[in-house]
Structure 1
Amino acid sequence: MLAVTDEQWRRLLWARTFRPDSVAQAYAQRGRRESLLNEQGTLFLVAADHPARGALRSGNDAMAMADRRGLLERLVTALAHPDVDGVLGSPDVVEELLLLGALEGKVVIGSMNRGGLDGAAWTMDDRFTGYDAASIAACRLEGGKMLLRIDDQDAGTVATLHACAQAVTELAQHKLVAMIEPLPYHRGAEGTLVLQQDAPALARAVTVASALGTTSAYTWLKMPACDDPDVVYGATTLPCVVLGGVPGPNLAEQVASWGKTLRQPVVRGLVIGRTVLYPDGGDVAGTVDAAAKVLRAATEGLPP
């Protein structure tokens, strides 16, 4: 794994304290690539917006993502892989990567709503506490991502629906990608949120998200791999990326299982976080490489 050296760490902390203006300079000077998609017509992003909503656990380690230097080292390692196109992150993480020089020529998607803190009573009322459309445009990012958890029995869902629709409209006015992650939930017997992974629930979430905003021209969807992708991904014409989800007990099997979903005609790539950043055994580079190979194999021959 690539290290953030002591000197890099000192310079980062110094810039944070004494040169806050260096953040704006880093945004302005970041080299951008010409196209959102790579030469294969796909998009492979690493996600790092979990800490912003207090979700620090990965596997059995409840505090995995609390170690910021360790998180940045894992991100720098993943971003160094030639098949990784960029990052999806909250402003603080994006800015640290910028100051470390890790985002040159990379796609950057800014995370927008992180107010629905992990485990909070108000979690479904997912307020926009990160980037907004204006700042995404001003910071020269490629787009914004929003989480849309849908629970028909939780009134907080409607406020999030409305806020997401506004964000889609505002991003489209700047001709920027609006990446929506629509996930259907219900409350379990003990009151905990449970993700509904059946095809009807996922397809319904897809259709709701697809219609948000005054135009869908710049909307992308971020959806999980599933057992019946023909139904779920057949519910939209919008470009989709497959999310990695929570790391499972058998990483190789989990990565391989994405293949069927990745072969759907509307699917254009992967967005993976903890699965590649915190693999069992700690081989971040190897796990990223395995995911990249699955994506390449599944999408070979896509029109660019």
Structure 2
Amino acid sequence: MTIDPGALARTRARHPEAIAEAAARRPRRPLLGRSGRLLIVAADHPARGALGVGRDPLAMAHRTDLLQRLCLALSRPGVDGVLATADILEDLLLLGALDGKVVMGSMNRGGLAGAAFELDDRFTGYRPQDLARIGFDAGKLLLRVDHRDPGSLDTLHAAARAVDAMAEHRLPVFVEPFLSRREGDGGRREGSGVLRNDLSPEAVITSIAIASGLGGTSAYTWLKVPVTRNPDDMARVLETSTLPAVLLGGDVGDDRNGANDEDAVYEKWRGALQLPTVQGLVAGRALLYPPDGDVAGAVDTAVGLL
């Protein structure tokens, strides 16, 4: 698909109502299709200032290129939908790329990458009422908790109320939990140090237990969980909750995730996808920016794993 950024800008400038009109006529589908599995392509990174992929710190900064990659990924058989913020989803609406797809809105993007307030994950993206109004299918929130940071209590409280509000609208909410810490300083208040998510089995188990108990009901709560450093630990990790779960797909070649090549990442996904509570996969940079540049090939490989 050839995308004209000028045409998108002109529509936005002269006919902003076109976005709501496109949403109103968008054909919808159930969250889970006939396969009972779910493959979602994630592209909500830019709104948190996380533009890098591998060694390119601005890989996701070229919006037309990102949209072309997303449209290609969404066109592949077996891809169920997309996770993104309003600016990206509305471009995709105008391009007609969301017809018959699961559309998941990203809710809290206030914890900007590298900021002193990164753990203060304010809900600066979609609100539950926004998702209900525009007719999207689900929401996603990020829940990072640092036991040394008193501000994490505010994040927990906001996340719990978001779970409640999503349930009131009968919309699924995908909670992505981590135990996090800053390395190299005494805590968030100093505003320095590198934020790391703890992917040990004990930390992931604890984060799942915390996320599962948020809000006044868990009826509409899903978990979006990372694969632990040792994939063999995932069976024990996912015994923590009976909530439906999807796997979090990271950046191929990201040493922090314990994998340096595509094959290693796919093998980690392959084993965890067989566990009983796992319903599918939500992956972004690994599919949109594969090392060999073959988006269709990366997406098709992921579909095959399901």
1:199 alignment partner in structure 2: 201
Matches within 5 A, 1:175-214: 175-189=170-184, 191-214=193-216
Query: In the alignment, is the contact (CA less than 8 A) between 1:4 and 1:72 conserved in 2?
Result: no
Deviates more, 1:16-25 or 1:252-261: 252-261
Q: Quick one: distance in 2 between partners of 1:275 and 1:99?
A: 25
How far apart are residue 157 of structure 1 and its match? 1.3
Matches within 5 A, 1:150-165: 150-165=145-160
1:15 alignment partner in structure 2: 11
How far apart are residue 10 of structure 1 and its match? 3.4
Instruction: Give the counterpart letter for 2:282 in structure 1.
Output: V
Q: Quick one: distance in 1 between partners of 2:114 and 2:151?
A: 14
Query: In the alignment, is the contact (CA less than 8 A) between 1:148 and 1:180 conserved in 2?
Result: yes
1:218 alignment partner in structure 2: 220
Matches within 5 A, 1:109-258: 109-189=104-184, 191-226=193-228, 227=230, 228-248=233-253, 249-258=260-269
2:2 counterpart (4, 8, 15): 4
Instruction: Give the counterpart letter for 1:69 in structure 2.
Output: T
Query: In the alignment, is the contact (CA less than 8 A) between 1:4 and 1:69 conserved in 2?
Result: no
1:24 counterpart (15, 20, 24): 20
Instruction: Give the counterpart letter for 2:291 in structure 1.
Output: D
Q: Quick one: distance in 2 between partners of 1:107 and 1:120?
A: 31
How far apart are residue 272 of structure 1 and its match? 0.3
Matches within 5 A, 1:285-296: 285-295=296-306
Gaps of 5+ in 1: 296-304
RMSD of the TM alignment (CA)? Answer: 1.0
Query: In the alignment, is the contact (CA less than 8 A) between 2:84 and 2:106 conserved in 1?
Result: yes
Q: Quick one: distance in 2 between partners of 1:148 and 1:247?
A: 22
Instruction: Give the counterpart letter for 1:43 in structure 2.
Output: L
Among the aligned pairs, what percent are the same residue? 49
Q: Quick one: distance in 2 between partners of 1:186 and 1:115?
A: 17
Query: In the alignment, is the contact (CA less than 8 A) between 2:3 and 2:68 conserved in 1?
Result: no
Deviates more, 1:190-199 or 1:119-128: 190-199
Gaps of 5+ in 2: 186-192, 254-259
How far apart are residue 39 of structure 1 and its match? 1.2
User: TM-score under structure 2 normalisation?
Assistant: 0.93
2:291 alignment partner in structure 1: 280
Q: Quick one: distance in 2 between partners of 1:68 and 1:156?
A: 33
Alignment partner of 1:65 is 2:60: yes
User: TM-score under structure 1 normalisation?
Assistant: 0.93
Q: Quick one: distance in 2 between partners of 1:43 and 1:107?
A: 9
Query: In the alignment, is the contact (CA less than 8 A) between 2:110 and 2:124 conserved in 1?
Result: yes
How many residues are matched?
Answer: 290
Deviates more, 1:151-160 or 1:98-107: 151-160
How far apart are residue 189 of structure 1 and its match? 2.8
